Amino acid sequence: MARGLTLVEVLVVIGIMATLVGLLVPAVSTVRESSKSIDCLTHLRAMGSAAAHYAATHRDWYPAATVWLPEGGAVAGWRQVHWDQERHADGSWHAGPVARFLDGELRAFQCPCCFDSPPQGELATGYNYNTSFVGTEGTMPTPDGAGGWIAGWNAARLGVRPAQARRTESCALFGDGGWSGGTNRFMRAPGNAVEGDLSMVYAGTQSFRHLRATNVCWLDGHVSSVDRACRGVHAEAAGPALLDGLARFPVNGFLSDDDQSYDPR
């Protein structure tokens, strides 16, 4: 005659099943996150290729990190062109220089592990660009004293040209951007040699969102993950207000304590 399971046996079976599920769920989650990280690296590789094509067709200059260009004349307004997207005078956002070399495909600018909403009505978010040393950084237009305006590349701190780059394999070009406010599009080097503003520097850190690693496209085009967040050489001067409050270390951090991962010269 068949014998049913006792209460103790049922509880044992349930305990075993719960243990197996407990072991399986983290493993499935890890596989899922690893797959997203691979997709992220694919995006970064495509972005690096687009930047190289841009430089090859624009007198060896990498795309500007940000510049202001006139749109229909100074009276009508200005177009702010970032490397990934540009904001027109009417407030609308469109594909920027790097995206145009990807046939306007903005999906590549949305990190699959970044769940922050694009800020200010932008079209995608998640990645940043080496603005300290590679990307030209423009300032707002100023009158030239003769009825015109100083704007665009004429009102900008120029980045390093490809011909000046000597350490392309160890210089970051694009990466996962993040600070306490969400994402950022401007990657800053920790040395503060260019910006002269530690607040700006600590708002331009990298997000270690891929299983505590951050993905990077290097200047020579290869991509990889970095699993150690650095505080930066000025961490003591920055203090908790910038390191923890602004950057949100170690969720976000630098690729190196000094500028060796940012300056290609």
Q: Tell me the mean pLDDT per 10 residues along the chain, length 265.
A: 63 71 57 80 95 91 93 72 92 90 81 83 90 95 89 92 90 97 95 97 97 96 97 98 97 98 97
Q: Kindly tell me the burial class for residue 48, based on how many C-beta atoms sit within 10 Å of its own C-beta (0-12, 13-18, 19 or more).
A: buried
Asked if 173 and 220 count as a contact pair (C-beta separation under 8 A), the reply is: no
* Nearest to 206, CA basis, from 197, 198, 216: 216
Tokens of 18: 């719960």
Single out the residue of 122, 127, 136 nearest to residue 48, CA to CA: 127
pLDDT of 37 reads 92
| 108 contacts 102 by C-beta, under 8 angstroms | yes
Q: Which pLDDT does position 74 carry in this prediction?
A: 52
What's the pTM? 0.86
C-alpha closest to that of 95 among 124, 115, 118, 119: 124
**Number of CB atoms found within 10 A of residue 31's CB:** 10
Residue 243 CA to residue 202 CA, distance in Å, equals 7
| pLDDT (0 to 100) of residue 28 | 46
Spatial separation of the C-alpha atoms in residues 216 and 162, rounded to whole Å: 18
Half-sphere exposure in the Cβ direction for 72 (13 Å, CA): 6
Q: What is the number of helices (H) and of strands (E) in the chain?
A: 4, 15
Query: Tokens 């190289």 identify what position?
Result: 52
- Burial-class residue 221 by CB neighbours within 10 Å (0-12, 13-18, 19+): middle
Query: What is the identity of the amino acid at 172?
Result: A
User: At residue 216, what are phi and psi to the nearest 5 degrees?
Assistant: -140, 140
Residue type, 107: R
pLDDT of residue 30: 54
Spatial neighbors of 11 by CB under 8 A, at least 6 apart, are none
Strand-pair category, 142-143 with 78-82 = unpaired
pLDDT at 27 (0 to 100): 45
At 61, list the tokens: 């200059």
First to last CA, the chain: 84
